[in-house]
Structure 1
Amino acid sequence: MLSGEFPNVNSSFELDNTTCKAIGGAITKSTLNIPSSIFEGTFRGQYTCIFKNISKKRGSMRSVDWIVFMQCVLPTLVFEQLAQEYGPDALQVEALMSYVIGCCLALQWEIDQDDLINIKKHFQNWHLHMKNEVDNNMYTINFHLLRHIHGTVKALSPLRAYSTKLTKRSIGFFKKHVKSQVSPRENAGNVIKQQLLIRNFSRVYYGDDCLGEEPEKDEYTVPGYPHIELWDPCLSTTDNTMLAPLRTYWDSFFH
């Protein structure tokens, strides 16, 4: 919306190409003085693409990148240009800042009753501007979902406490190991089961410190014991004389 990517559409926030390039240049210069460890997203170079070459680079932006862009770039570099273009008290400038404030409040680890009231108020301001001043096809599902944040936080606690962002790493891990095209369901089930067995062994034997480690060389082996194969637990000790001593051994080993 800021870069004017949508022609013949009233997006209310559009900035000309020269201004967008100036913002991109300012972002590039600022990255030299910002330690990369400060942000969850990849600050260096990513946000410049939004303004300098949005049609080709926008797809490389992750959710965490957009969140940092919203928290750090919108209320500073972008706000400055919007205020100069439309005036600091313009409806679209106030609406955009309501959007930023509402999101920043919702991203806190601790949210009190006053925060909840402000979250609801700021997202309502943003919603009314989008509804009354911007073309209907600009009002996406993401803007609609912002109106539910107040009720969601009130019912379930701050968003950060149960964010699904960290599950993306787990999804990528399992996706890499599910390779069967004939029986993907069974393959996925076996991969998950084997991983749970590894994590359970690691927790009992090594403690919780090693749970973030992944199996070496993509092999599902017990950490530190690459020759051990993982089998299903023995539920019965009557069908095979070998199972009884095995069970006795592991019982004594792990108490």
Structure 2
Amino acid sequence: MDGGSRVNKNFKNGGFFLRNVVVKKLFDMMENSLACIPTCFDGSFRHPFGKHSTRAVDWIDIARFAIPALFVGKFQDHGARVAMLSIVAFIQTVLHKDLQATQLVNMKRSLEVWTTYLLNQVDEGKLPVSVFTPNEHYLQHIIEIIKRLGPPTYYSPRCMERTIGLYKRRKRSTKDPGVEAGNIMVKLAARNNLTLKNNCEQVDRPDLGNDLTPQTINLISDSLDAPIEISTQLMIDGITYGSTRHRSISGRTQSFAVFKVGIQRSHSIITCHYAGDVLFYFKWEQHFYAVARLVQLTFGSNNLMYCKPHVSDQSRTVILHASTIIGPAGRLHQQELGVDYIFWESMTIGVDTCQEACGSLDGL
């Protein structure tokens, strides 16, 4: 991004060039958004050239989320935007725990777009040939490695190293390490396992808001005799999801989440994405639900990400089944545009995000 200051030739005409002052401003936006990024993300989201050291996991999350949200829109060259979004989608897909044949095809196509653009930039003298580093060479072999060994999540040193911290955070007792280790493994191995945490038994009649749809109101009023358990947190497959009623020790927002909801359109059901703050969770007749205040999303065609106004007055409080929760979501505030770009762990731009799947509050 510095225009090739480390080589003799000046490459400021390259498609990826951004002035240092612009780069610093964008990284400052990223760091200023830290309070809106849940702690479940591995990256620190701090300025990589500041006083804090930058780890590999920090660079990965910068590439996956900060680059498309904040940097891509600054590229003047449309080809540069397409190429950068292609390699971002490639990186996002590589980190999935389950990869299908169609995803490998998309990865190959994305890598071809990225490599072709770099070659054209080198041929035009806009990038040095040294842009093709050993890491760039290794990218060409990742798809074949996945075909032979499976997703890198299960065998890469980075993921194994992160697992140490995952186990450490789940330790609750040191008296009997053997039993405690077994309990941790059982919880991590569980699938489709939902558990309420921090029950709020003192809340008799929580405020659900006054904009619930008739369908959701009927959902909890069908049987007045059925008990309702209320909680500020919900654990799904070993991952804890927060709410606005749960006070986070870290001071970072843990309540914002992304949902995948089936919406009826023209005699067919379309799966759409919604996002918003979870107010609290409850259990009713062995089913788990989230009371969420959803915000209106828009789709950004420049970076293929969902966004919302930083100060939004469009919202709707609804009750959603816990199975619709995709995961906790972070927000990166683009101060110049006044919007927050939304991202989540399993997101692949251009695949999970599109105009058709951008949920409208009017459709609920």
TM-score, normalising length: structure 1? 0.57
1:105 is aligned, of 93, 96, 107, to 93
Structure 1 residue corresponding to 2:30, chosen from 19, 23, 27:
27
Partner of 2:106: 118
- Please state if 1:153 is matched with 2:146: yes
Q: Any conservation in 2 of the 1:23–1:77 contact (CA below 8 Å)?
A: yes
Report the Cα offset of residue 75 of structure 1: 0.7
* 1:216-235 matched pairs, under 5 angstroms: none
**Larger fraction in strand:** 2
The answer to whether 1:209 aligns with 2:182 is: yes
What residue ranges of structure 1 are gaps of 5+ in the alignment? 172-201, 213-255
Cα offset for 1:13? Answer: 0.9
For residue 72 of structure 1, the aligned residue among 65, 70, 95 is: 65
Q: CA deviation at 1:5?
A: 5.8
Contact in 1 for aligned 2:4/2:10 (Cα 8 Å) = no
Which one has more relative contact order, counting CA pairs under 8 Å at least 6 apart? 2
**1:42 CA drift (Å):** 1.6
Deviation of 1:104 after TM superposition, in Å, equals 0.8
Structure with the larger helix share? 1
Matched letter for residue 43 of structure 2: G
For the residue of structure 2 that corresponds to 1:49, the secondary structure is coil
Is the contact between residue 131 and residue 139 of structure 1 (CA under 8 Å) also seen in structure 2? no
Tell me the equivalent position of 1:40.
Answer: 42
Q: 1:131 to 1:108 in 2, by over 3 A?
A: same
Aligned residues: 165
Residues 153, 159 of structure 1: 8 Å contact kept = yes
- Opposite residue 29 of structure 2, the aligned amino acid is A
User: Which of 25, 48, 63 does residue 56 from structure 2 map onto?
Assistant: 63
Q: Distance in 1 between matches of 2:163 and 2:153?
A: 18
Give distance in 1, aligned partners of 2:94 and 2:183. Answer: 32
**Quick one: which amino acid aligns to residue 14 of structure 1?**
F
Indicate how the Cα distance of structure 1 residues 121 and 170 shifts in structure 2: closer, same or farther if over 3 A, else same: closer
One-letter identity of the residue aligned with 1:161 = Y
1:124–1:147 Cα contact (<8 Å) kept:
no
1:49 corresponds to 2:51: no
Query: Match for 1:125: what amino acid?
Result: V
- Rg larger in structure: 1
Identify unmatched segments of 5+ residues in structure 2.
122-126, 165-176, 186-364
User: Within 2, Cα distance between the matches of 1:26 and 1:169?
Assistant: 26
The alignment's TM-score, normalised by the length of structure 2, stands at 0.41
- Secondary structure at the aligned position of 2:48 is classed as helix
Distance apart, 1:168 and its partner CA = 4.6
- Which residue number in structure 1 is paired with residue 360 of structure 2? none
1:100-143 deviation per Cα after TM superposition (whole angstroms, max 9, x unaligned): 01111111111111100000111111112222313211211111
Q: Does 1:141 align with 2:134?
A: yes
